[in-house]
Chains A and B, each alone.
Chain A
């Protein structure tokens, strides 16, 4: 008995130490034995003979043969317990152990798992960002490589273009220099030879000049410095001008040049006529240059405020491979033997893009090439056209002052403008122009820049200071862009480069007259 009690105490101590408790039930789920420490888990009401399903929640629905582990169960005292159902022949032992530590560890593990998941998520995000940054970097790198490649190609193209005429210039000037060192040789043929050499030098120099001008245009287009200056333009007159300019070239090559217009003579549109003219001259010039037999034609029509232009030639045509390259700067077809800068088409395409159009080129070898584009060209309404036409008639009524120190130019301007019904009052410098403007109201002033006593810039500044808004059009022999910008900052109405086309002056006067009419209408 004593031994049995001792054994019972030892068992109880062992159970306490292991934090184990138990319930034994028989096959009818009646409690037959419980450990003393069962109350430490909050099971206070379990007595021998009670039905275990009624006093222990987690036992509901089980029978005495069930073998099961319930790892995390909340006991009535709030302790997390682990339960094992251990069936034997006649009894089912419900073994309860303290699982607080496992629960804490599990919670900790869950927390760590969550934290890990968060870290993984963050890592994934960072990896995505890294990939994006890497892609951007790669793209930037590609852009830089492309820019570097283009720059190298540009420099190589420019160097090549400059080298040919420069080599020619150096060669021919050397020949002339050598012949000058032999003063005894003054035969007629020697003089003729020197003249030929000098003409070759001139040709090369002109080619260089044209290259520089094209490069300047190309550079301006690249840096978006070229601005369109749309103005009222009679399209038919513009096309006639271009035809007259190109006719001598086509005649010299015995090529038929035809301009087919489906445009009314009196149609006035708003467009940058100067840039359009440049494009047409480039395209027609190219067509004439590369066509040795047959014809070159330009077809134009105006429909719904859009101007469509097609230039077709019967030249040698362009291969499919070359068609891919013709728009590249400095590209020139091999073995054509035709001089050029290789920039004309690039510049033309960019200007057409600037005007809102797209240049299309199609070609068939041995048959010819077609270049076409369509650009917006808003037509003036009949009433506005009438105003433009009326303004032409009213030019004779305009008072126009010409400030020009060069007598040859002044005389020519006076006569040419008179032939167009415009009377000019001529003065020789800016100071005299200001004096004349104080005594007479002029509708329009044409002014040179480089004049003695008072320059065109000084005169513009004086007019600006005096709030005199008379439209002043500058005529200068200087092509330096800074000159134009300076004049524009001083309020000039327009800037023309000598040689000035008097028809351009008339066009600007029409514009001034139109503006004046509009002001009066307002």
Chain B
């Protein structure tokens, strides 16, 4: 924390940041599958899997806002309907967009 990032860490961070468009696309696909208003348990699980992964990695790479946003959506994924989830996921996509 106190030391400046080593070139290796810098390169990893850059690689991670460069993967944001790919992650946005994955989230966009998830949104498309649930956007018709119906969301089944399998879809919830898939969305949760993606968010879980993103929450873990974004936090590790220092993107705490993204991490917090993922956690917020994960916390309510089982009880929210598609109409409530899509705007939240879109918000997360916006966050990723801002950092990419």
Contact = CB atoms under 8 A, between A and B. Distances in A.
A252 to B, nearest CB: 16
Contact of B91 (A202, A241, A409): A202
Contacts of A206: 65, 68, 72
B56 A416 contact: no
A419 B69 CA distance: 30
Given A173-B87, A415-B8, A415-B9, A409 B1 contact: no
Contact of A412 (B61, B67, B87, B94): B61
Interface string B45-86: 000010011011101111011011111100100000000000
Nearest to B6: A419
Given A244-B2, A415-B9, A416-B9, A408 B57 contact: yes
Interface residues on B, range: 20 to 34
Contacts of A209: 68, 71-72, 75
Interface hub of A411, A475, A476, A503 (most chain B Cβ within 10 A): A411
A499 B57 CA distance: 7
Contacts of A173: 87
A518 B20 CA distance: 47
A500 B8 CA distance: 19
B71 A479 contact: yes
B69 A412 contact: no
A498 B59 contact: yes
B26 interface: no
Contacts, number: 81
B19 interface: yes
Contacts of B52: 450, 477-478
B56 A406 contact: yes
Contacts of B70: 477
Contacts of A408: 12, 15-16, 19, 57, 60-61
Contacts of A205: 68-69, 72
B1 A244 contact: yes
Contacts of A503: 1
Nearest to B60: A499
6 contacts: A209-B71, A209-B72, A408-B57, A408-B61, A477-B56, A498-B60
Interface of B: 1-2, 6, 8-9, 12, 15-16, 19, 49, 52-53, 55-57, 59-62, 64-65, 67-72, 75, 87, 91, 94-95
Interface of A: 173, 195, 198, 201-202, 205-206, 208-209, 212, 240-241, 244, 406, 408-409, 411-413, 415-416, 419, 448, 450, 475-479, 498-501, 503
